[in-house]
Structure 1
Amino acid sequence: MKKTGIFYGSTTGTTESVARLIAEKLGVSPADVHDVSKLDAALAESYEALILGTSTWGDGELQDDWYDGIKVLKNANLSGKTIALFGCGDSESYSDTFCDGMGILFEDLKDSGCTFVGAVSDSDYTYASSVAVADGKFVGLALDDVNESDRTDARVSAWTEMLKADLA
């Protein structure tokens, strides 16, 4: 498997918990799971694959720690890297900005020379709008641990199984 680092921004702990679950299912060492607030270019560049996770806040905004984290990644050499995204959101209370944070990460990094993997069909979700959707697919794994926590483990399991081929 490619050397994989998982980076998360988490205010309430949900995104961090999901990051650790993803690491467990992929066999990524806990030492390779990082709070994005500690990210620097050398750390990002030390991995062949990056899994990036954020929650969505307010009117479709990134989790606070990602504002600096995305600046670091934009200045890092991501050419040839494999990147997978996951996002946490609330599809009932914030149906019109569901997992927008994940879409912001995608937009900010899409021209960096990396290859995105892990898009997920939106057909199994109920939401009004999301900038994280293109052509009927989320740009990564969308999770609603607020209203659909009973589906989180199965969604993470299916996604990580799909990712294994891209991370081989």
Structure 2
Amino acid sequence: MPRIGLFFASSTGNTRRIAKMIKKRFDDETMAEALNVNKASPGLVAGYSHLILGTSTLGGGQLPGLSTDCMGGGWEEFLPQLKNVDFSGKTVALYGLGDQSKYPDEFVDAMGIIYEFVVARGAKIVGVWPADDYDFISSKAFVDDQFVGLALDQENQKILTDARLEAWLKLIAPEFGLPL
């Protein structure tokens, strides 16, 4: 069973909390520590064949980064560092946080930005998620009538997070060799 790399960027701490919830479900042999991308390196990411990548989406559909008050940097700074990483043969699952009421025109856009980046470099994406029970206008993460990963709204639908996360982990488990 391959060890899974779990990387995230967060400006408010919500994405970090979700990463810790994911990590808590698995032992250290299965999954590496949840690591903020501001403490990661391209070589570390490249060393995993299986990745879970998480991000918040900031106002205007932006990636978290120094320009958006992400302490120590975020995906905005880290993605360009990954431009030479070959994601061919890597299995990637994405989760993204957004606010569908306040930002219905760019709900979980940052997840879509990361999706486009890793797919362009050969990644196999798993864990697409239905858009049922969401109320948004548009999203860069909405492709072929579904989200490219798990979409979470901690502002308006926090009560659904545990059930959604559990269902998503069961969905990706076979692709990651995870025991659930």
Aligned to 1:136: 145
One-letter amino acid matched to 2:20: R
- Preserved CA contact (<8 Å) 2:104 2:138: yes
TM-score under structure 2 length normalisation: 0.88
- Preserved CA contact (<8 Å) 2:4 2:32: no
Equivalent residue pairs, number: 167
Cα offset, 1:10, TM superposition: 0.8
Aligned to 1:11: 11
Alignment partners' CA distance in 2, 1:127 and 1:46:
36
Alignment partners' CA distance in 2, 1:117 and 1:153:
19
- Preserved CA contact (<8 Å) 1:9 1:54: yes
Alignment partners' CA distance in 2, 1:128 and 1:28:
39
Alignment partners' CA distance in 2, 1:74 and 1:155:
31
The answer to which structure, 1 or 2, has the higher relative contact order (CA under 8 A, 6+ apart) is 1
Task: Calculate the aligned-residue CA RMSD, in Å.
Answer: 1.3
Cα offset, 1:45, TM superposition: 1.7
Cα offset, 1:77, TM superposition: 2.5
Cα offset, 1:24, TM superposition: 2.1
Cα offset, 1:60, TM superposition: 0.6
Aligned to 1:45: 46
Aligned to 2:59: 58
Alignment partners' CA distance in 1, 2:33 and 2:50:
11
Picking from 87, 97, 106, the partner of 2:96 is: 87
One-letter amino acid matched to 2:120: D
Alignment partners' CA distance in 1, 2:151 and 2:101:
14
Cα offset, 1:122, TM superposition: 0.6
One-letter amino acid matched to 1:160: L
SS in 2 for 1:77: coil
Structure with the higher helix share, 1 or 2: 1
Q: In the alignment, is residue 109 of structure 1 matched against residue 118 of structure 2?
A: yes
Deviates more, 1:43-52 or 1:141-150: 43-52
Alignment partners' CA distance in 1, 2:82 and 2:58:
21
Aligned to 2:133: 124
| Segments of 4+ moved more than 6 angstroms | none
Q: Which segments of 5 or more consecutive residues in structure 2 lack a partner in the other structure? A: 66-73
Alignment partners' CA distance in 2, 1:59 and 1:108:
19
Aligned to 2:79: 70
- Preserved CA contact (<8 Å) 1:6 1:19: yes
Alignment partners' CA distance in 2, 1:34 and 1:96:
29
Q: Which segments of 5 or more consecutive residues in structure 1 lack a partner in the other structure? A: none
Cα offset, 1:41, TM superposition: 1.7
Deviates more, 1:143-152 or 1:66-75: 66-75
Alignment partners' CA distance in 1, 2:139 and 2:49:
28
- Percent identity, aligned pairs only, is 41
Cα offset, 1:72, TM superposition: 2.3
